[in-house]
Amino acid sequence: MTTNLKRIALIGPMPPYRGGITRFTVSLAEKLVEAGHDVLVISFKSQYPKLLYPGKNEKDFSQPTSKANTLFIFSPLKKMDWKTTFDHIQAYQPDFIIYQWWTTFWAPATAWLLRKIKQTGIKTKVLVHNAFPHESTWLDKKLASWALKDAQTFVTMTEAQADRLRSAVHHQVEIQTAPHPIYSQFPASGLSKPEVRRKLRLPMDVPIALFFGFVRPYKGLGILLEAMATLNRNGSNLHLVVAGEFWDDQDRYEKQIVDLGIKEIVTIRADYIPDSEAGLYFEAADLFVAPYTGGTQSGSIKVAMSYQLPLVITDAITDPLILTYPFGYCVAKSGDPQVLTKKIAEILLNRFDAEMNDRAFLQDSWQSLLDVIIQL
């Protein structure tokens, strides 16, 4: 349990910025506040230039605002804002800083800010979502090494990410690992599953598999579509719902669906799903599929776990918390549509009954991370 109360500066995106890291930052800030810590969140004035952002819009104003004290002052491309951020950190005088790292796009700002903070003697704990971007090059490793050279303590959420971090950070560091917590801040609809499906205009009388989140190459949607075609030929009545904005060539996937002859059993909702609607898709689903070929963890999987959905994942996901998940999971070989087909069929054939206090499960997963961060 966390005991000593701290003043903590947390750097990361907050609403109206959208996406999994924003959801994580909101949850982490609120859990720290609930534990009694004094928390200042430093969020972004701007994130990506439009030219480099693959989505339609990086903000979602339908999200509820957080209770955490938040300043929107950090801009990765504006050195003046780096100094403003540093000045606010100095004025706040935190016991330590949690700096979230997931993209080498922040490398110049990160290198400057971590160096300046180190000179003050304030400890920075770098919380690593991804040591390098999912679709990374040799340059990303170089940038990560440069950006993080003045950090001494790191928290990762899988051992695989810890290993990647060690390959880039060559100075003496301390790395602790705690699993990515389970969270869901999507509002409950209060509707029955048939009512939810009717509201979303989804099939009523068949099992539904959900693929949720930004569609990116490493997430393996094409492999899942191949598996759906095989299941369909074998007589399965499974229906696939793909809900999320495409950060990849949508036309290619649409063509694959037509070529495989599975247009009638695949529903695509190709826009960003706001938080006000996202929970409905999890309520409508019977299982969650994450056929990733890269990445080691996923916020969407953790949301699916909070809805107690059976999971079909791949061995690319190395999250240890899944091993204790009692509502059913199968692990397929990454990149293999035949094995993925078998694992989906296995989940459909089995019913999982778990006697577990899901609220305690949710809280325990956050407590583990908080303990590691506070004690590091």
Average pLDDT over residues 209-236: 96
d(CA 13, CA 11): 7
- Residues 209 and 344 placed together within one structural domain of the fold: yes
Q: Is the pLDDT of residue 48 over 80?
A: no
Does residue 1 lie in a domain region? Answer: no
- Residues 133 and 228 placed together within one structural domain of the fold: no
> What digits encode the pLDDT tens for the residues 92-126?
999 999 999 999 988 999 999 999 999 999 999 99
> What digits encode the pLDDT tens for the residues 330-354?
888 899 999 999 999 999 988 554 4
CATH number of the structural domain spanning residue 44: 3.40.50.11930
CA–CA–CA angle 34, 125, 102 (5° rounding): 95
Looking at per-residue pLDDT, the higher value among 63 and 293 belongs to: 293
Does residue 374 lie in a domain region? Answer: no
- Residues 165 and 231 placed together within one structural domain of the fold: no
- Residues 100 and 228 placed together within one structural domain of the fold: no
| Single-letter amino acid code for the residue at 155 | V
Does residue 367 lie in a domain region? Answer: no
Structural domain span for residue 69:
7-177
Q: Is the pLDDT of residue 168 over 80?
A: yes
Task: Give SS3 for 41.
Answer: strand
- Residues 143 and 265 placed together within one structural domain of the fold: no
> Looking at residue 314, what DSSP letter applies?
E
* Residue 30 burial (CB count, 10 A): 18
- Residues 132 and 202 placed together within one structural domain of the fold: no
**Would you place residue 54 in the very low, low, confident or very high pLDDT band (cuts 50, 70, 90)?**
low
- Residues 20 and 140 placed together within one structural domain of the fold: yes
If one counts the domains in the chain, the total is: 2
CATH number of the structural domain spanning residue 278: 3.40.50.2000
- Residues 281 and 230 placed together within one structural domain of the fold: yes
- Residues 233 and 173 placed together within one structural domain of the fold: no
Does residue 372 lie in a domain region? Answer: no
- Residues 270 and 309 placed together within one structural domain of the fold: yes
Contact 58, 47 (CB under 8 A): yes
Q: Which helix (H) or strand (E) holds 338?
A: helix 337-349
Does residue 145 lie in a domain region? Answer: yes
- Residues 157 and 269 placed together within one structural domain of the fold: no
**Would you place residue 357 in the very low, low, confident or very high pLDDT band (cuts 50, 70, 90)?**
very low
Average pLDDT over residues 272-286: 92
> What digits encode the pLDDT tens for the residues 232-277?
999 999 999 999 999 899 999 999 999 999 999 999 999 889 888 9
- Residues 220 and 144 placed together within one structural domain of the fold: no
**Would you place residue 42 in the very low, low, confident or very high pLDDT band (cuts 50, 70, 90)?**
very high
**Would you place residue 359 in the very low, low, confident or very high pLDDT band (cuts 50, 70, 90)?**
low
In this structure, the dihedral spanned by the alpha carbons of residues 299, 372, 100 and 334, taken in order and rounded to 10 degrees, is -40
Residue 67 confidence (pLDDT): 80
Name the nearest CA neighbour of 10 among 36, 35, 28. 28
Mean pLDDT value across the chain? 89
pTM (2 d.p.):
0.85
Q: Is 4 exposed, middle or buried (0-12, 13-18, 19+ CB in 10 A)?
A: exposed
Q: Is the pLDDT of residue 154 over 90?
A: yes
Domain boundary among 177, 208, 236: 177
Contacts of 276 (CB under 8 A, 6+ apart): 62, 63, 187
